[in-house]
Structure 1
Amino acid sequence: MKNIVVIGAGTMGNGIAHTFAQTGFKVNLVDVSPEALDRGLKTISTNLDRIIAKGNLTEEQKAETLGNITTFTDVSEAAKNADLIVEAATENQDLKLKIFKQMDESAPENCILATNTSSISITKIAAATKRPEKVIGMHFMNPVPIMKLVEIIKGYSTSKETFDAVYQMSKTLGKVPVEVNDYPGFVANRILMPMINEAIETLYNNVAGVEEIDTVMKLGMAHPMGPLQLADFIGLDVCLAILNVMYDGFKNPKYAPNPLLVNMVMAGKLGVKSGEGFYDYSESKKAEKVAKMFVK
């Protein structure tokens, strides 16, 4: 597999495109607008600069990486010579089914269709195509260029050849692939999301404040980031969508989203992406933090 297509230039999509391109693959990055693609490329460039600053990349390698990425707004045009397509659109089942149908119609017969979904059934996604044996889950972790784990999820009809090809491809990217079966939330989010939801429940019941809850988990459980801060980084809308998928799939009340999470999403408090979630990420707050650095 040499020609890679990534659908979606958002947080996960640009990270996946970055990872493939830095490994030497030619990547067609697709999104609905030139503006979204420009934002994705800007993020990739900024992240490459961070790697250069740490001494792990040269300016020449950055230029090669960016040169490996071509942008498209037309899936059909981007996918016509694809060997592997990785869909990284919003965690919305109807949208993913629509994209996979379009991918199936546009890509060559031998092309593998992968999804970066964090919770939606691979079997259901595969059913929207005429090549279910070539559909697989390839769930990267955020930030993609840094995190080593990739959950490789087989649908009911995924062939051994498809699984083996994607498993080896993940190793080529420097990742650690883990085989996972097709159940709601897979492994990572089946364990993580109930923890985040319980942290929100703890806040909702006024057991402790945001920073106190996160401090307990960081210092007491050796988590690098508290669950509420992590939820902000994932996106509270994404957390809600994943919990809803698991609740619908298992019919178990332990996966029911806390009312505080539901209300925050309805109010547009989505975390880092909106500037406010459990923490404040607004420009004014950043300026306040900088000012405090100069106050004795």
Structure 2
Amino acid sequence: MEQMTDIPTETGYHFNVMRRAIDLIDGAEAPLSLEALAAEMGMSPAHFQRIFSRWVGVSPKRYQQYLALGHAKALLNERFTTLETAHATGLSGSGRLHDLFLRWESMSPGDYAKGGAGLTIYWGWFESPFGLALVMGTDKGICGLGFAAEMGEEGAMQDLVRRWPKADYVEDPMRLRPWVLAAFGAEDAELRQAPLYLIGAPFQIKVWEALLQIPSGHVTTYSEIAESIGNPRAVRAVGTAVGRNPVSWLIPCHRALRKSGGLGGYHWGLPVKRALLAYESARAEA
């Protein structure tokens, strides 16, 4: 890793605290007390609870319940989204994600077939609430976001680069920084613009468009996505397209579950998927 750009000042400090706390909670065999978590963070229990609750929206104790193995099934029962009606009812516009992105567009099929030839992609490493994140973007918006927690920094970099092997890659984290701040919830209104630039095959783009209709804190199934794009038998192909989503977190593939309530797969690691769902559920409740 050549360079890493932190989320600055107080926001960056809180993100680092939350990242460490989530890692600790997720790796514990049993629920951790407030006192134990605070001690690991080097804080008083009151100070840690205040910071955690401000960022997540609920207490550490309540958040740990969202990380329980049965949480995915509960989400399907309580917050299942029918994609065909989500947009019509305005539900898809109520999530934080859709407030952040003022615009998004996709590369033409012909340009995509060129493997990124003639395209300049800027990249940088950033600390995020869900671990170290690799962010990539063009002049038009964020085109890639991956997490290194499970596959490591080199693996994450190779994973994104090989999607567009003929592009020119330029390390420039400061160029991406305003979009990254918006993507991970910076409060400064002037920074709340994080446009997306989707680079994929036409079928993949359709699936990713469907994912963008799932409100924060809600989930759907792979079969529901297939129905919504007019190809109900393409559940397996939909699953592949979900897994190939290059912009994790922002194109919310973590909100797609199996009909059984199982988490299914997640390209960047199931612990990351559980953390993303838990965070969004907590925020929705708050």
TM-score past 0.5 threshold: no
Q: Which structure is larger by alpha-carbon Rg, 1 or 2? A: 1
Query: Which has the larger helix fraction?
Result: 1
TM-score normalised to the size of structure 1? 0.25
Where relative contact order (Cα < 8 A, 6+ residues apart) is larger, the structure is 2
TM-score normalised to the size of structure 2? 0.26
